[in-house]
Amino acid sequence: MTARQTRSRLTPARLAPRDVVRVGAAGLRTRPARALLSALGIAIGIAAMVAVVGISSSSREQLGRQLAALGTNLLTVAPGQTLDGQEATLPAEAEAMIARIGPVTAVSATGAIRNVKVYRSDKIPKVETGGLTVSAARTSLPRTVGATLRGGAWLNGATGRYPAAVLGAGAAGRLGVGRAGPEMVIMVGGERFTVIGVLDEVTLAPELDTAVLIGWEAATGLFRFDGRATTVYTRSRDDQVEAVRAVLAATADPRTPGDVSVSRPSDALAASRAADVTLNGLLLGLGAVALLVGGVGVANTMVISVLERRAEIGLRRSLGATRGQIRVQFLTESLLLSALGGVGGVLAGIAVTTGYAAYQTWPAVVPAWATMGALAATVLIGGVAGLYPAIRAARLSPTEALVMI
Residue 105 pLDDT level (bands cut at 50, 70, 90): very high
Owning domain of residue 138: 73-273
How many domains is the chain partitioned into structurally? Answer: 2
Whether residue 195 is found in the same domain as residue 269: yes
Whether residue 215 is found in the same domain as residue 291: no
In a domain, 12, yes or no: no
DSSP 3-state of 125: coil
Q: Please, are residues 310 and 401 in contact by the beta-carbon 8 Å criterion?
A: yes
Measure the CA–CA gap between 288 and 41, rounded to whole angstroms.
11
Average pLDDT along the chain = 82
Whether residue 93 is found in the same domain as residue 34: no
Query: C-alpha angle 39/339/313, rounded to 5°?
Result: 80
Whether residue 259 is found in the same domain as residue 125: yes
CA pseudo-torsion sign 290, 296, 298, 301: negative
> 212, 238, 273: which is the final residue of a domain?
273
Distances in whole angstroms, Cα of residue 260 to Cα of each of 89, 213, 229, 241, 405 = 8, 23, 12, 17, 86
Alpha helices by DSSP H, 179-275: 216-223, 241-252, 265-274
Measure the CA–CA gap between 141 and 343, rounded to whole angstroms.
51
The DSSP bridge pattern shows strands 211-215 and 133-137 to be: parallel
Whether residue 105 is found in the same domain as residue 127: yes
In a domain, 1, yes or no: no
In a domain, 4, yes or no: no
Of residues 1 and 102, the one with the higher pLDDT is 102
Whether residue 247 is found in the same domain as residue 311: no
> 249, 273, 297: which is the final residue of a domain?
273
According to the model, what pLDDT value does residue 1 have?
Answer: 47
Whether residue 329 is found in the same domain as residue 392: yes
> 231, 249, 273: which is the final residue of a domain?
273
Whether residue 266 is found in the same domain as residue 348: no
Of residues 52 and 249, the one with the higher pLDDT is 249
Q: Please, are residues 353 and 364 in contact by the beta-carbon 8 Å criterion?
A: yes
Whether residue 166 is found in the same domain as residue 264: yes
According to the model, what pLDDT value does residue 273 have?
Answer: 58
Measure the CA–CA gap between 79 and 351, rounded to whole angstroms.
48
According to the model, what pLDDT value does residue 174 have?
Answer: 93
